[in-house]
Amino acid sequence: MAFEKIKVTNPIVEMDGDEMTRIIWKSIKDKLILPFVELDIKYFDLGLPHRDATDDKVTVESAEATLKYNVAIKCATITPDEDRVKEYSLKSMWRSPNGTIRNILNGTVFREPIICKNVPRLIPGRFKDIFQEVYEASWKTKYEAAGIWYEHRLIDDMVAYALKSEGGYVWACKNYDGDVQSDMLAQGFGSLGLMTSVLVCPDGKTIEAEAAHGTVTRHYRVHQKGGETSTNSIASIFAWTRGLAHRAKLDDNAQLLDFTQKLEAACIGAVESGKMTKDLALIIHGSKLSRDTYLNTEEFIDAVAAELKAKLSA
Ligand SMILES: NC(=O)c1ccc[n+]([C@@H]2O[C@H](COP(=O)([O-])OP(=O)(O)OC[C@H]3O[C@@H](n4cnc5c(N)ncnc54)[C@H](O)[C@@H]3O)[C@@H](O)[C@H]2O)c1
């Protein structure tokens, strides 16, 4: 069934990327976005070969275009190290594209886990329980003999305590935001494929949306050898929905906003109906994981497309 495409008045900036996420990116565009939305895309290829060919100017240009059009949707990209310089025969060890873009946009990154009811969470609770168990079993009496103690406090309580106290404590932090900690948090909520990341600029108008994870090199190596992959595309799909939802807000485009909500619901609906990639199936089934409990990369995107079509026709 052909759908009447939703018209979008103003452009978005698309930043393409590398490896497994570049492959997923194309499928998302072809199967979940372009059949439904008529979009003026300002395309920038931030894949490492093109960054090298343009002496990384393309990264700067993409950030400048973001300031102009206010909405950027970014695929994960390789930050080169010495091995990548050799692998891609680079002219130089170009800087992290995210660093370059953040310097130009000067914003703050907000990350949010995507929650599916049937994906068990490690956080919150479990870490706290482990600390408590270890403390009680091995340390409580020793601590008390030394006149010290351990206790769990909520983060807001702890921040207030840190401000008013004069020290004399060790603070073991958990669940707090930041690049490194949020990866851990994402894993706690199921998978790195379940964490959105949106850079919001001080003008309140300009944003850049992306997945919080990297280019999933390990899966790409399998793909390069012709093997089957099962890479979670949800966070990359949410890069599109969060970017397009912001476009909808700026343009006052209710139809586009509705589409983004249905696409997000289609991802969660697919997982909650048992259609998921291996990373999530592993958390649910553990050692009982078998091939019939998960879909491969393309099958999962197709399952989301089917859910989306059903929601759009309803
Ligand atoms: N925002 C970005 O563009 C960004 C962020 C981090 C890393 N990177 C780049 O990504 C490349 C690979 O880095 P890495 O391996 O450390 O990080 P990664 O996030 O790509 O992968 C780490 C591991 O997490 C799991 N994983 C991550 N995303 C997944 C998904 N969608 N589905 C299933 N499993 C998933 C896999 O087990 C994978 O081996 C590097 O070149 C790095 O520079 C880019």
Over residues 49-101, the pLDDT tens digits come to: 999 999 999 999 999 999 999 999 999 999 999 999 999 999 999 999 999 99
Q: Which of 81, 180, 181, 216 most suits a substitution to test ligand 1, by most atoms within 8 Å of the C-beta? A: 216
- CA dist., res. 92 & res. 52, Å (int): 8
pTM for the model: 0.84
> Does 208 sit in the ligand 1 pocket, CB within 6 Å?
no
Question: Which ligand 1 atom minimizes the distance to the CA of 197?
Answer: 1
Å from CA of 282 to ligand 1 middle: 18
Q: Which of 46, 59, 213 most suits a substitution to test ligand 1, by most atoms within 8 Å of the C-beta? A: 213
Q: Give residue 73's pLDDT.
A: 98
CB of 280 within 8 A of CB of 190? yes
Å from CA of 212 to ligand 1 middle: 9
CB of 286 within 8 A of CB of 119? no
For ligand 1, atom 16, name the residue with the nearest CA: 214
> Does 236 sit in the ligand 1 pocket, CB within 6 Å?
no
Residue 11 has pLDDT above 50, yes or no: yes
CA-to-CA separations, 218 to 223, 224, 268, 284, in angstroms, rounded:
9, 10, 25, 22
Å from CA of 20 to ligand 1 middle: 9
Write out pLDDT tens, residues 252-291.
Answer: 999 999 999 999 999 999 999 999 999 999 988 888 999 9
The encoded tokens of residue 205 equal 């108008």
Write out pLDDT tens, residues 19-62.
Answer: 999 999 999 999 999 999 999 999 999 999 999 999 999 999 99
CB of 8 within 8 A of CB of 37? yes
Q: Give residue 175's pLDDT.
A: 43
